[in-house]
Chains A and B, each alone.
Chain A
């Protein structure tokens, strides 16, 4: 029995795929997520090292920058959320070995439930969900906001590709809230036609 590797459960497990051709599409994502918080007085070397490694600067303020699969977003004073598509639990470990001297690096890959929201009516759906302005002129590609949706704290960002129309957003919430957020999105999108695509994972036979 000891040999059985642990099997993860998706945050939106139990939610059935829904819809076919929705004007709002929600796709479950499972990026590796880590939080970096600069140690006191270490911002400058951290910034330099980060730039050296990824060729992008740490965003100052609520912006998100991207380098291939990896993205970094400012979510607090000298604090960033880093995500990496397709990375597993090892993501935070690799960051810690690189930046641990200059920042606290915490693995939060399992802490969030994340959905990508897209489709021609996605902005109208978001208008019912979050009290912030996601208009082209005010929420540009790469913008990120910490806000609330149906009384839940959420982080919302717009993917970086410029000129993307309709825009693509991602929203994440504390994992325990996954089902409540799902219902809020489903209800907000229902009038436009809603589609949900859960994470596909090959089941490992025990």
Chain B
């Protein structure tokens, strides 16, 4: 069943077996396996097809940098494409499929693309799809879309759950290898708050993949022991399966915890993944290094693997990646691979070291083991049908030799994993000594240690980790003990070889995007000299792996082809996320119903019982209308509600309006500067309409000001602008006039407020209030206001009207809002008390010509709105200066008018353009637009409000309302904006 599984424990639980399927076939692995290791153990080497040429591909790495072994994980709506087999932790029942192949992985029709390779060279898109232009939409784009991408999205809603969380620490350690563990333990033992994130499910990094010793203890055992101690420390959080994917401003790191990806399904209210925002005083970059492949012919055949991955599969997973493994190396480190293989009794026919010299001890040991050692040699080509069968090697002298082998291990040297150090704009520094980029200007508070800093020995990793841990602890106020762990110094000599010059066959630089040596050569010949241009022209490094194993090789080739040093070439910027991130993880629980919070009015529960239909008004859910039995058309419902208010009495919940309490000796003076109209003449017990301008002279909001006592005012704002107005007032209070004695308190949430409107409203309220308040016209005229006690509770009554009828607003503390609504509706009134919603409210305000958010839209002046008579000329107020700008006072500005269709039956829609009749519908003929429209049940036809150039001089004129969006075109008459009760008798009655 698992022919390549070796004896011994490694880091897998051999006692337990896990069944899984790949492309429908059943296999068995163990807890501790990845999908890649379990498939390799089962002898499966072919795991996918490449992007462009559909070439057979196996696994290259044993980590998150994997470019080849991308599979679709899970089924149905849970299906996730492009998942790296090297990162998938095996679980019982796991189901994965290969992708980018048809009909099957072994026999793929798309492989014909390989024959067409010349067509798919670099810049193929730009050259091929340029002309004829008309073909783009018809032909090219659909074809490219079909061919693009590797996996298939499920096209169903993501059924998984995600959540966000926040964490804070003195020290964030990124990476749980030797250096990271040492840093975390040092700072953690001292008492500092430490978070260690490791993307693997098993901390230890190379300690698990290599045979290393610390103080005589096996490296993986040491890592397990240290992890155990870290888990036991109260102030330390060890987060496995967690990738720190980005660094953002304010020392904030983004990290993705794969909470349930290793389980068949999430357990007990756990999300699938959790997105962490981690704010860290200090950070230690202990991300290690990535081994580089070497570019030669046929280097993408299954069986070509990174040498470090070969060791990981051997030592950690107890899997033999092959039986006859040739090693192609440019560094001392690679030789360990051969020795580890031989220890397992596997054949290593040849070690090809591109360097002319290698440490004699290594060569002697290899030869003693019976391995042929070739120095100064290079692999020209790997050959085989679906995987490696043999290789061709060029000796130093130039002679070519062939060796049989089923696997080629590549040790092209190590690149420090510096990605996170560049997310805030830092650039890595080229180290000639290491032939690699090392962290350059590190972000504030970040220290790089171990291999991430270009120090590749274990002893350096440990001591740098300890130092960084101590520094971080000290900064947090803790003195840390200087831990010391003894270990042998390894040999870390290296000389780079990026690609084999003169190699034969297709040689891949970027496996995932099928970018070859030839593509880069072509780009260089066509004049692309910058790595950023090279990237975009060839798509080098633009795959989901972001070119982790390919970028540098490609740049080295470009440098060689353009006769430059790599240090002069520069490199590309790595951007977050470090590894792919599900969009769902970014959204967290804020989707669907929880996309944003809802606000409920105090009568919400009652309205639900009543069967109200709701509308989202910003965050508010407001009752739009209240259908009664038999009403199937909302227009009928709204007409009934309007008629009830116009003839009887209706109640509307207007609690959503903003309310601000203003107190202080200078409150009046303050408001005088805030409002465009006079406030100083407002007496106690009276309310007034108020208009606020922005500093730039545009209208900010309208509302009412009520004077409750000499130094106590209550402001109301529109629902839409409540927060904006509060901000405006606070700015004025705190920044513009801090010397004024004014206290501002937002009280919107404190009060439930109901509009009680209609000719029957006085009778209704008088009955309910009894002796509590005299509501007669003489005692409580239009725009009166009062505070009184009603049934033991302090309430407020305002005689204000938005509907144009005799109306009151009653405010009660919000917790009594439900009771009050029920009491109002239950009250005995002729024809009943009818609740009305926002739609009827809107119809009546249009009938009355009151402006609302559609008119106060941030681009209109008081004059535009027909409110210029309100604007005081005898005082200074916010916006007074800039409101006088010539552009805002121009005679031809569109101003508010009423609009009435000439044909009684024709309708009007907001958004329609206003044009002279007979003129073509062009922008130059555009004279304004319809801002609000409604069918008026009171008048029996459609009415509208709109802005029309010189509108006030055009009363009675016939114009055209043209609405191409809805395909409507009507002739309308310009009329007064006040359609109903123009003299305002009813509100005063």
> Which residues of A line the B interface, CB within 8 A?
1-2, 4-11, 13-14, 35, 37-41, 77, 89, 103-104, 106-112, 127-128, 130-133, 135, 137-138, 150-152, 174-181, 183-184, 187-188, 190-191
In the complex, are the beta carbons of B743 and A111 less than 8 A apart? no
Q: Which of B569-601 contact A (CB under 8 A)?
A: 589-590, 594, 596-601
CA distance A70 to B589 in the complex (A): 36
List chain A residues, Cβ under 8 A from B168. 133, 135, 138
In the complex, are the beta carbons of B270 and A2 less than 8 A apart? no
Q: Is B814 an interface residue (CB 8 A)?
A: yes
List chain A residues, Cβ under 8 A from B143. none
CA distance A177 to B747 in the complex (A): 14
User: Which residue of chain B lies nearest to A192 when distances are taken between CB atoms in the complex?
Assistant: B269
User: A40 with B741: in contact, given A176-B599, A180-B598 (CB under 8 Å)?
Assistant: yes
In the complex, are the beta carbons of A128 and B165 less than 8 A apart? yes
User: A128 with B590: in contact, given A2-B768, A39-B741, A176-B599 (CB under 8 Å)?
Assistant: no
In the complex, are the beta carbons of A8 and B589 less than 8 A apart? no
In the complex, are the beta carbons of B664 and A2 less than 8 A apart? no
In the complex, are the beta carbons of B815 and A180 less than 8 A apart? no
For residue B386, give the distance in angstroms from its CB to the closest CB of chain A.
46
In the complex, are the beta carbons of B166 and A127 less than 8 A apart? yes
CA distance A76 to B664 in the complex (A): 17
List chain B residues, Cβ under 8 A from A130. 166
CA distance A165 to B10 in the complex (A): 42
CA distance A1 to B748 in the complex (A): 29
Q: Is B392 an interface residue (CB 8 A)?
A: no
In the complex, are the beta carbons of A37 and B743 less than 8 A apart? yes
For residue B668, give the distance in angstroms from its CB to the closest CB of chain A.
14
CA distance A184 to B595 in the complex (A): 11
For residue A28, give the distance in angstroms from its CB to the closest CB of chain B.
12
Which of B739, B792, B815 touches A9 (beta carbons < 8 Å)?
B815
CA distance A199 to B739 in the complex (A): 44
CA distance A96 to B475 in the complex (A): 48
For residue B602, give the distance in angstroms from its CB to the closest CB of chain A.
8
In the complex, are the beta carbons of B279 and A133 less than 8 A apart? yes
List chain B residues, Cβ under 8 A from A132. 166
List chain B residues, Cβ under 8 A from A175. 602, 749, 814-815
List chain B residues, Cβ under 8 A from A191. 268-270
Which of B165, B663, B665, B750 touches A110 (beta carbons < 8 Å)?
B750
Q: What string of 1s and 0s marks CB contacts (under 8 Å) between B266-299 and chain A?
A: 0011100000010100000000000000000000
In the complex, are the beta carbons of A14 and B747 less than 8 A apart? no
In the complex, are the beta carbons of A174 and B816 less than 8 A apart? no
The interface residues of chain B, by DSSP majority, are classed as mixed
CA distance A41 to B743 in the complex (A): 12
CA distance A138 to B167 in the complex (A): 12
CA distance A15 to B166 in the complex (A): 27
User: A14 with B791: in contact, given A40-B741, A104-B661, A133-B279 (CB under 8 Å)?
Assistant: no
In the complex, are the beta carbons of B818 and A9 less than 8 A apart? yes
CB-defined A-B contacts under 8 Å, sample of 21: A1-B823, A2-B791, A5-B791, A5-B792, A9-B602, A9-B815, A40-B666, A40-B741, A40-B742, A104-B663, A104-B664, A107-B750, A111-B747, A111-B750, A127-B166, A128-B163, A131-B166, A133-B168, A150-B597, A184-B594, A191-B270
In the complex, are the beta carbons of A106 and B270 less than 8 A apart? no
Q: Which of B728-787 contact A (CB under 8 A)?
A: 734, 739-745, 747-751, 768, 770
List chain A residues, Cβ under 8 A from B813. 89, 107, 109-110
Q: Which of B638-689 contact A (CB under 8 A)?
A: 655, 661, 663-666
In the complex, are the beta carbons of A127 and B165 less than 8 A apart? yes
CA distance A112 to B749 in the complex (A): 7
CA distance A190 to B589 in the complex (A): 13
User: Which residue of chain A lies nearest to B608 when distances are taken between CB atoms in the complex?
Assistant: A14
Closest 8 CB pairs of A and B: A104-B743, A180-B597, A190-B269, A176-B599, A40-B741, A133-B168, A111-B749, A110-B813
For residue B231, give the distance in angstroms from its CB to the closest CB of chain A.
16
In the complex, are the beta carbons of B815 and A10 less than 8 A apart? yes
In the complex, are the beta carbons of A128 and B598 less than 8 A apart? no
In the complex, are the beta carbons of A7 and B819 less than 8 A apart? yes
In the complex, are the beta carbons of B163 and A6 less than 8 A apart? no
CA distance A109 to B793 in the complex (A): 13
Q: Is B620 an interface residue (CB 8 A)?
A: yes
CA distance A151 to B164 in the complex (A): 13
CA distance A5 to B750 in the complex (A): 19
User: Which residue of chain B lies nearest to A35 when distances are taken between CB atoms in the complex?
Assistant: B745
List chain A residues, Cβ under 8 A from B744. 37
Which of A37, A110, A150, A176 touches B620 (beta carbons < 8 Å)?
A176
CA distance A20 to B661 in the complex (A): 42
List chain A residues, Cβ under 8 A from B750. 106-111
List chain B residues, Cβ under 8 A from A183. 594
In the complex, are the beta carbons of B597 and A181 less than 8 A apart? yes
For residue B806, give the distance in angstroms from its CB to the closest CB of chain A.
22
CA distance A41 to B163 in the complex (A): 47
With A5-B791, A6-B812 already in contact, 16 other A-B pairs whose C-beta atoms are closer than 8 Å: A2-B791, A4-B823, A7-B816, A103-B743, A106-B661, A107-B794, A107-B813, A110-B814, A110-B816, A128-B164, A133-B168, A137-B193, A174-B599, A175-B815, A176-B600, A180-B597
CA distance A39 to B663 in the complex (A): 9
Q: What string of 1s and 0s marks CB contacts (under 8 Å) between B816-857 and chain A?
A: 111110010001000000000000000000000000000000
User: Which residue of chain B lies nearest to A179 when distances are taken between CB atoms in the complex?
Assistant: B600
User: A89 with B794: in contact, given A37-B745, A106-B747 (CB under 8 Å)?
Assistant: yes
CA distance A103 to B620 in the complex (A): 32
Q: Which of A6, A77, A188 has the most CB of B within 10 A?
A: A6
List chain A residues, Cβ under 8 A from B596. 151
For residue B711, give the distance in angstroms from its CB to the closest CB of chain A.
9
For residue B796, give the distance in angstroms from its CB to the closest CB of chain A.
12
User: A178 with B815: in contact, given A89-B793, A131-B166, A135-B168 (CB under 8 Å)?
Assistant: no
For residue A116, give the distance in angstroms from its CB to the closest CB of chain B.
18
Q: Is B605 an interface residue (CB 8 A)?
A: yes
List chain A residues, Cβ under 8 A from B794. 89, 107
CA distance A4 to B597 in the complex (A): 35
In the complex, are the beta carbons of B745 and A9 less than 8 A apart? no
For residue A179, give the distance in angstroms from its CB to the closest CB of chain B.
6
List chain B residues, Cβ under 8 A from A9. 602, 605, 815-819
For residue B593, give the distance in angstroms from its CB to the closest CB of chain A.
8
CA distance A194 to B527 in the complex (A): 64
In the complex, are the beta carbons of B600 and A178 less than 8 A apart? yes
In the complex, are the beta carbons of B814 and A6 less than 8 A apart? no
For residue B43, give the distance in angstroms from its CB to the closest CB of chain A.
40
List chain B residues, Cβ under 8 A from A38. 743
